Every structure is written in C-alpha cells, then in structure tokens.
Chains A and B, each alone.
Chain A
Amino acid sequence: MRLAIKKRPGVCGAGHPQAEPGQDGAPGGRAPKQTCGRRGGKPARELGAMEKARPLWANPLQFVFACISYAVGLGNVWRFPYLCQMYGGGSFLVPYLIMLVVEGMPLLYLELAVGQRMRQGSIGAWRSISPYLSGVGVASVVVSFFLSMYYNVINAWAFWYLFHSFQDPLPWSHCPLNSNHTGYDEECELASSTQYFWYRKTLNISPSIQESGSVQWEPALCLVLAWLAVYLCILRGTASTGKVVYFTASLPYCVLIIYLVRGLTLHGATNGLAYMFTPKMEQLANPKAWINAATQIFFSLGLGFGSLIAFASYNEPSSNCQRHAVVVSLINSATSIFASVVTFSIYGFKATFNYESCLNKVILLLTNAFDLEDGFLTASNLEQVKGYLASTYPSQYNEVFPQIKNCSLEAELDTAVQGTGLAFIVYTEAIKNMEVSQLWSVLYFFMLLMLGIGSMLGNTAAILTPLTDSKAISRRLPKEAISGLLCLVSCVIGMVFTTEAGNYWFDIFNDYAATLSLLLIVLVEIGAVCYVYGLRRFASDLQAMTGRPLNWYWKVMWAGVSPLIIISLLLFYLSDYILTGTLRYQAWDASQGQLVTKDYPTYALVVIGLLVASSTMCIPLVALAAFILRCLKRGGGTTSEV
C-alpha cells in the first residue's frame, strides 16, 4: 500500500523525493540532507527530509471519514434514542442542537486544530504547549487504554450474534427445552427468549459481581477474533486505517438506510414514531434534559481521548479543519437522529407485536374459560364482551379475572432501554418477528461491528500515535510490533470481561472509566490552549497554518462558553455521585428472570476509584514531575557552571 507522501518544494527549488513509502517515526538511518553549499540559519531539514517522519492521509476525505467513523459509534444507536424518549421526544432536539452548536463544534474544532498544529499525538502535542501539561496527554492515553480494553468486548458480542445469525430458526427466537423435554427451560419461561439468550447463552452471567466464575471460552474466542480484526486494521498505521475507514464509515449508513425502509414498512412502526416525535414541551424546563443533551454531545464526539488529535496530526497543515469540524459534528448529530428514527420504528413494531400478542392471549383465555365460539372474540369487541361476561357470569369471571393482563400499547412503548440491552435484547426481539429474520439479523450485527471497529480504530490511534511518536519506543520496535503488543495486552486483560461476572465489570468500566476523567481532561485542554498557550497566539498560528483568520465565534466559545458548560457538567456529575451515596448495579437473577439492584462490594468501589484516579491524577502528577525535573536540571546546570 503506497502512502502518498507529499513533497515540499525545498529551499533550493528542488524537492527531496522519498525513496519509498516510509514508516513513521522509525527512520532506519539518518536521512541525508542537502545543504546546497550553505550553512543554514534556516535549517535544510525543512526541505522535506523529515517529512517522511510523519505519514499523511492520502486525501482529506480519508481524514473526514476517519473522524466520522470514530465519532459515529454505538452511542448514536443505543444512547441517543433512549435520551430522546426520556426527555420529551421531539422537544429533546432543541437542547441537543443548541448544545451541538455551543459545545460540540467548538470543542471538536479545538482538538482538530491542536492536532493539526502540533502534528503529534496527544502527549507530544500538549508537551509542545507546555511541558507541565503533558500530563493531559498521558491522561488521554490512559483513558483511551481503558476504553479500548472494554469497548472491544462489544465487538466480540457482535461477532457472537453475527455468527449465530446464520441459523434457522434464530437461536434467540425460541426457548430451549428443559432436561426432560416436558417443557421449556425455567429461566427462559420467566424471562423471554431473547433475554435468556443474552444473559445465559452469551454472557452466562453469574448472580452477582462477587461470583466471578471462569472465563467462558466462546466469548473469549470472539474477543480474540475482535482484537485480531482491529490489529489487521491498524497494522500499517494511517495507510491501512485510511482504507478501512472508507468501509467502517459508509457501510453503517447503507445498513441504516435499508433498515429505515424496512422499519417504516413494518406493521406498527408509526406507533413508535408518533410516540417518539410527539414533543413534550414541558421537558424543556427540566434541567436534566439539558445536562443529558450536553453530556451526549460531549461523549458522542469522542472528545478528550486524544484520537481526534492523533487523526488531525496526520493532516496537511493547510487543510481546513474548521470545515471538517463543522461537517463531522453535523454528520454525527444527523446520524443520531437518523438512527433514532430507525430505532423507534423498530420499537413501534415490537410494541405493537407484543401488544397484539397480549391481546390474543387474553382473548384465548376468555374463550377457553367461557367456551365461547372460536373467533367470536376480537380485539375490537373485547371490552364489550368482557363487560357482558362480568355481568352475566360474575363468579366465573372473578376466577379468571386475576389472569387477565391489562394490555397497553403505551406501556410497551414506555419500556425505554439503552445500551447493550437495547442492542442485544430489544432489537433481536424485533428482528425475530420479521420475515427473513436471518438476513435482517446479519445486516444489523454487521452494522454494529462496523460502528464498533470504527470507534476502536480511533481509540487505538489515540494510544499508538504518542507511542510511535516517542523516539525511545519507536527506535527499538517497529510499528507493527507496538500495535501487536497493545492488542495482545488489551486482549489478555479483556478476558476479565468474558468471565461469568464479566458484564458487571463491563458496566463499571462503561460508567466510570471515561466519564469524569474526560470532562476534566477537556477542561484542562481548553484552559491550556486559551490561557497557557494564549488564545491570540493560537489564533495567529492557525491563521498562518491554514491561511484563514479565526472567526470571533470560536474565540468566544473557547474562552468562555464551552468551559462554563463543562464546569457545570462536572459539578453536576460530582454532586450526583455524592448525593447518590453508595453505588449500585443491576444484577441478573436467574430464579426470577429479571434484573435486581445490588450494592457494589468494597473492592469494586476501590476499582472504580482507581479507574477515575489513575487518569485524572496523571495531570497533576506529571506536572509535578516536570517541575521537579526542571528544578533538578537547573540546579545541576548552575553547579556545573560554577
């Protein structure tokens, strides 16, 4: 795969062509320089000799696709529809779009600009701004490492479901028989077949986080495969990543469009759509709606991980990152809204299906209890007949009455689910009722895989770019070995998530590894750029680099509005944690066939504390270390002079 190395016209008017595609950061020997017969005040190295140290994206489209592929992830599919449903349907779009313009775009532009300007990964970039701030980069790398560890487990699960989609009938569409073949498995009867397949067959979940059980070999195999797939994509750095992101960015849209058409033609889809998009204006006054909108924008764009800085560092310095930032954030939000249309038509179908099954069960019950003619009771005359029966045969009716469920479409639609529950339980329940369910299942899990791998590419780039930038490591090991080592270590640690209690640890990582730390990291980032480096200096740098002056809007946002929003989010989260007291989690109870709430044991709380601390403490600790080193050097310098 040939990298497109851009040649720069040299001082002597002749470019310095590269021999062949170079690897970044690991020059075999010293690059020969032509001095053209003069010692340079302007070093001859500007003649593109060091260009081979940094590969570039083959064209700007690859960069945009990489950012889209990274930002558009599973959160767009399984978090935004939930938020939309919880906070007023159509009216949630108002705070969402406002936060996009006020918080999302400025922060995204900031990260891309920093990366493009400093042309290094997160650690190097922040060290260039100030050596005391390289802790920000280190914190980003630590958070990215945590994220990549647990995020790939989702890809493993997607692989698992994908492989199981090639069966007829789908394995989650029916309950397995119990041991003596007289009925269905008890746990499956209490829950539903899709829940049973998820909790028992996929996770084999234990009743609590204390009982960790053993590593399940099936999800472990899928995890190994997931890491191998990620390794394959990042193996060659931007060369391979640049090609892969064409697929991971575009294929999910194809599947979403197919699903949109299919979803809208499903029976009952309009119920879901009407329910979702009916605006409940009173939710606009709910501060939680605004906070969740801000949080969703923040995390959906993937700010603070260092991935955006890493991607932008492979950009041409003159590329228009402002336009890219606006485009990427708009596409990300549009995808969220698009995905929620699809999700809600599927919801509507599922809810209508369940509602009609419930009605049919009631009809059957009454028909059998009163020996009415088969087919006499329908959904339309149900209430009438119920009244008639209640008055004519009161004693019999009272016997049957406790078993009659109140079927309600709203109650079915109200079951708001997010996260893995939505993706692996609710969607599969809807899919099993469609015709040709294998095809829809394969398409859906393939889309989940593309979304997940696209985000993983960004995560691993955030970790690998600083590592390959650092001379100490990249001189000793080639890029392939560094990536391989990272994948191996993450895979081995990720085996924790394939144990029987793995899903509980997954929830811990999902809820706590990134949330608080990222807010702090981005806050320090903005502060660093605006106040340590200097907003005016940064603006003039950008203008020199891209040739366009910085719009006043961005300056206002960076200096004032966005930091305020982040501070308020931080305060909200902290107060939320403090007020809730002890932290709780949802555990699956096999005997009841549903989730129960339990308290975390002490060691789990310790792990949570370590997760948050290990990334946030990097910032002050590294600053302190840099300060001490500087003092030592200065002390050493003065003594040597004397």
Chain B
Amino acid sequence: MLWLLFFLVTAIHAELCQPDAKNAFKVRLSIKTALGDKAYVWDANEEYLFKAMIAFSMRKVPNRGTTDISHVLVCNVTQRVSFWFVVTDPSKNHTLPADEIQLAVRMNRNRINNAFSLNDQTLEFLKIPSTLAPPTDPSVPIWIIIFGVIFCIVIVAITLLVLSGIWQRRRKNKGPSEVDDVEDKCENTITIENGISSDSMDMKGWHINDTFMTEDERLTPL
C-alpha cells in the first residue's frame, strides 16, 4: 500500500514537473565558467539549497507565506547543469502560477545568486529577465568639468599673451620717438633712386630684381 502511494506521489510529481510543463521554469548554471578552479560539484545537497532558496523567495510573496521545501519540485537535471522546477500549492495538486514565481525570483535574485556565488549571467532563469542595473549618472557630466578646466586655462593664456603684446607695442611706440631725435643728427636721408623711393622697395631676397616688384610705380615704361 505504501509503495502504491509512493508511486502515485512520484507519478503526480512527474506530471507536474516536466520540461515545458505549465508554470515550469528552466534553470541553467555555469559553475565552471564562473568559478574556474573553485567550482563545486552539483549534487543533491546543492539541489536542496536551491529548493530552499526558491521556497524562501515564494514565502515573501503575499498569500504564499506557507510554502515549504517539499513544494518545490526539481526534475530533468542534466550535466550542463540545467534542470526544470515547479512550485506546487500546499495540496500538491496544482502548480503555482508562473507570474508569482517570476515575481518572487526577481525580487530575491541577488540573494539566490549569492547563495551559489554566481551572478545573473551564470545562474540563468530562462524566461525570467533580470533587471539591468541603472546607469550611474553623475549630476554634472564629468566631461564638462574637464572641458571647463581646459577652456579656462586656454582663455587665461590667450588673454595674457594678447595683453603682453599690447603692452610691448605701447612701450615700443614710446621708444622710437626718443631714438628719432638722436637719429636726426645723423644724415637721415631717404635715398631716392630712379624716382623710386627705397622705402617702397622691401627686401625680399638677395638677388631679386626689386624693380620688377614695383612696376606699378615705374616712371619709364619699358
């Protein structure tokens, strides 16, 4: 009799927990990828912990405070490691709706991850999307701060250079007026050659025929 009951229970369980059953979720773990050498083996104890974490999460859902470990059914464990799980109601006849399970898992995802030393990518609940971390936006974008610093430095440097240029020019304008008085004592004549003021011919090079340059002022056309 007892054996019959046992078989009945496992048969019902088998029906409730099946791949692609109603309200069933697939879980996939990549322990070796996450932990490398420190990877632990997935055995019955780890499974027990998983069931406990799911039961714990379900207890946080309103009206499901009485969920027990025995209500969580796990099946089809593969080498991957992956398996399917369902959560049944206290009568063990029906599975709880997928929405509630999704809500429970999403609320406590961090706790479940930490229990296994995994993260969202290595402990996957297929069909339960994980909430992505919001970006940390500082109040003032960092680039504007650096831009402001460099901008101010450049403006200050330009102002300094321009001002020093103006001061130098003012000093120079005062200067030649004194030099000129001295120079007047020498023969400060402007040499005129061929009617072309030497002033208008600029020194451009050693051998350029400068009269070519100033042909506009040539008196005698060729």
Distance between Cα atoms of A45 and B78 in the complex (Å): 99
What residues of chain B lie closer than 8 Å to A420, measured between beta carbons?
none
Distance between Cα atoms of A236 and B166 in the complex (Å): 12
Which of A28, A127, A163, A177 is the one whose CB lies under 8 Å from B132? A177
B-contact 0/1 string along A15-50, CB 8 Å cutoff = 000011101000011101111010111011110001
Which of B31, B129, B193, B199 is the one whose CB lies under 8 Å from A30? B199
Q: Are A33 and B202 in contact (CB under 8 A)?
A: no
Contact segment of A84-92, A222-230, A402-410:
A222-230
Which single residue of chain A is at the shortest CB-CB distance from B171? A20
Does A280 belong to the interface (CB within 8 Å)? Answer: no
What residues of chain B lie closer than 8 Å to A166, measured between beta carbons?
142-143, 146
Least Cβ–Cβ distance between B138 and chain A, in angstroms = 9
Q: Are B132 and A32 in contact (CB under 8 A)?
A: no
Does A575 belong to the interface (CB within 8 Å)? Answer: no
Distance between Cα atoms of A236 and B82 in the complex (Å): 72
8 Å CB interface, B106-159 against A = 129, 131-132, 134-135, 142-144, 146-147, 150-151, 154-155, 157-158
Q: Are B158 and A232 in contact (CB under 8 A)?
A: yes
Does A101 belong to the interface (CB within 8 Å)? Answer: no
What residues of chain B lie closer than 8 Å to A235, measured between beta carbons?
158, 161-162, 165
Q: Are A374 and B80 in contact (CB under 8 A)?
A: yes
Least Cβ–Cβ distance between A375 and chain B, in angstroms = 4
What residues of chain A lie closer than 8 Å to B1, measured between beta carbons?
none
Distance between Cα atoms of A578 and B149 in the complex (Å): 50
Q: Are B151 and A225 in contact (CB under 8 A)?
A: yes
Q: Are A478 and B165 in contact (CB under 8 A)?
A: yes
Q: Are A119 and B199 in contact (CB under 8 A)?
A: no
Does B38 belong to the interface (CB within 8 Å)? Answer: no
Q: Are A50 and B203 in contact (CB under 8 A)?
A: yes
What residues of chain B lie closer than 8 Å to A596, measured between beta carbons?
none
Does A221 belong to the interface (CB within 8 Å)? Answer: yes
Q: Are B204 and A120 in contact (CB under 8 A)?
A: yes
Least Cβ–Cβ distance between B94 and chain A, in angstroms = 28
Distance between Cα atoms of A53 and B198 in the complex (Å): 15
What residues of chain A lie closer than 8 Å to B199, measured between beta carbons?
30
Q: Are A20 and B168 in contact (CB under 8 A)?
A: yes
Does A60 belong to the interface (CB within 8 Å)? Answer: no
Number of A interface residues at 8 Å Cβ cutoff, please give it. 69
What residues of chain B lie closer than 8 Å to A35, measured between beta carbons?
186-189, 191
Does A128 belong to the interface (CB within 8 Å)? Answer: yes
Which single residue of chain B is at the shortest CB-CB distance from A160? B143
Least Cβ–Cβ distance between B40 and chain A, in angstroms = 12
Which of B142, B154, B190, B208 is the one whose CB lies under 8 Å from A33? B190
Does B43 belong to the interface (CB within 8 Å)? Answer: no
Of A23, A33, A633, most buried by chain B (CB within 10 Å of CB) is A33
Does A416 belong to the interface (CB within 8 Å)? Answer: no
Distance between Cα atoms of A436 and B190 in the complex (Å): 69
Contact segment of B8-16, B51-59, B65-73, B172-180:
B172-180
Distance between Cα atoms of A192 and B10 in the complex (Å): 50
Does A634 belong to the interface (CB within 8 Å)? Answer: yes
Which single residue of chain B is at the shortest CB-CB distance from A46? B203
Q: Are A231 and B158 in contact (CB under 8 A)?
A: yes
Distance between Cα atoms of A478 and B165 in the complex (Å): 10
Q: Are B221 and A637 in contact (CB under 8 A)?
A: yes
What residues of chain A lie closer than 8 Å to B129, measured between beta carbons?
182-183
**Given contacts A118-B204, A240-B161, A37 and B168 within 8 Å (CB-CB):** no
Q: Are A374 and B135 in contact (CB under 8 A)?
A: no
What residues of chain B lie closer than 8 Å to A163, measured between beta carbons?
142-144, 146-147
Distance between Cα atoms of A159 and B144 in the complex (Å): 11
Q: Are B176 and A119 in contact (CB under 8 A)?
A: no
Distance between Cα atoms of A583 and B169 in the complex (Å): 53
Q: Are A28 and B176 in contact (CB under 8 A)?
A: yes
Q: Are A167 and B213 in contact (CB under 8 A)?
A: no
What residues of chain B lie closer than 8 Å to A240, measured between beta carbons?
161
Distance between Cα atoms of A497 and B29 in the complex (Å): 50
What residues of chain B lie closer than 8 Å to A544, measured between beta carbons?
206-207
A-contact 0/1 string along B23-35, CB 8 Å cutoff = 0000011111100
**Given contacts A371-B78, A374-B30, A634 and B221 within 8 Å (CB-CB):** yes
What residues of chain B lie closer than 8 Å to A556, measured between beta carbons?
none
Does A480 belong to the interface (CB within 8 Å)? Answer: yes
**Given contacts A32-B179, A35-B191, A368-B28, A119 and B204 within 8 Å (CB-CB):** yes
What residues of chain B lie closer than 8 Å to A399, measured between beta carbons?
none
Distance between Cα atoms of A373 and B30 in the complex (Å): 9
Does B205 belong to the interface (CB within 8 Å)? Answer: yes
**Given contacts A35-B189, A231-B158, A28 and B172 within 8 Å (CB-CB):** yes
Distance between Cα atoms of A39 and B193 in the complex (Å): 9
Does B63 belong to the interface (CB within 8 Å)? Answer: no
8 Å CB interface, A109-127 against B = 117-120, 124, 127
Does A638 belong to the interface (CB within 8 Å)? Answer: yes
Does B183 belong to the interface (CB within 8 Å)? Answer: yes
What residues of chain B lie closer than 8 Å to A222, measured between beta carbons?
147
**Given contacts A44-B191, A50-B203, A236-B161, A371 and B79 within 8 Å (CB-CB):** yes
Distance between Cα atoms of A271 and B210 in the complex (Å): 62
Q: Are B191 and A638 in contact (CB under 8 A)?
A: no
8 Å CB interface, A327-382 against B = 367-368, 371-375
Does B216 belong to the interface (CB within 8 Å)? Answer: yes
Q: Are A19 and B79 in contact (CB under 8 A)?
A: no
**Given contacts A35-B187, A45-B198, A118 and B143 within 8 Å (CB-CB):** no
Q: Are A371 and B165 in contact (CB under 8 A)?
A: no
B-contact 0/1 string along A598-642, CB 8 Å cutoff = 000000000000000000000000000000000001100110000
Q: Are A167 and B216 in contact (CB under 8 A)?
A: no
Q: Are B183 and A32 in contact (CB under 8 A)?
A: yes
What residues of chain A lie closer than 8 Å to B79, measured between beta carbons?
371-373
Does B61 belong to the interface (CB within 8 Å)? Answer: no
Which of B32, B201, B204, B221 is the one whose CB lies under 8 Å from A374? B32
Q: Are B132 and A183 in contact (CB under 8 A)?
A: yes
Q: Are A225 and B147 in contact (CB under 8 A)?
A: yes
In the A-B complex, the 4 residue pairs with the closest CB atoms? A163-B143, A375-B32, A371-B78, A373-B79
Residues of B in contact with A (beta carbons under 8 Å apart)? 28-33, 78-82, 129, 131-132, 134-135, 142-144, 146-147, 150-151, 154-155, 157-158, 161-162, 165, 168-169, 171-173, 175-176, 179-180, 183, 186-191, 193, 198-199, 201-208, 212-213, 215-216, 221
Can you name 16 extra interface pairs (CB under 8 A) apart from A20-B171, A53-B203, A166-B142? A19-B176, A20-B168, A28-B172, A29-B180, A33-B190, A34-B183, A35-B187, A35-B189, A45-B201, A46-B203, A118-B204, A163-B142, A163-B143, A228-B154, A235-B158, A545-B205
A-B contact pairs, 25 of them (CB 8 A): A28-B169, A30-B199, A35-B189, A37-B187, A39-B191, A43-B193, A50-B202, A118-B208, A119-B204, A128-B213, A163-B142, A163-B143, A163-B144, A163-B147, A167-B143, A182-B131, A221-B147, A225-B151, A235-B165, A371-B79, A373-B79, A480-B162, A541-B207, A545-B206, A633-B215
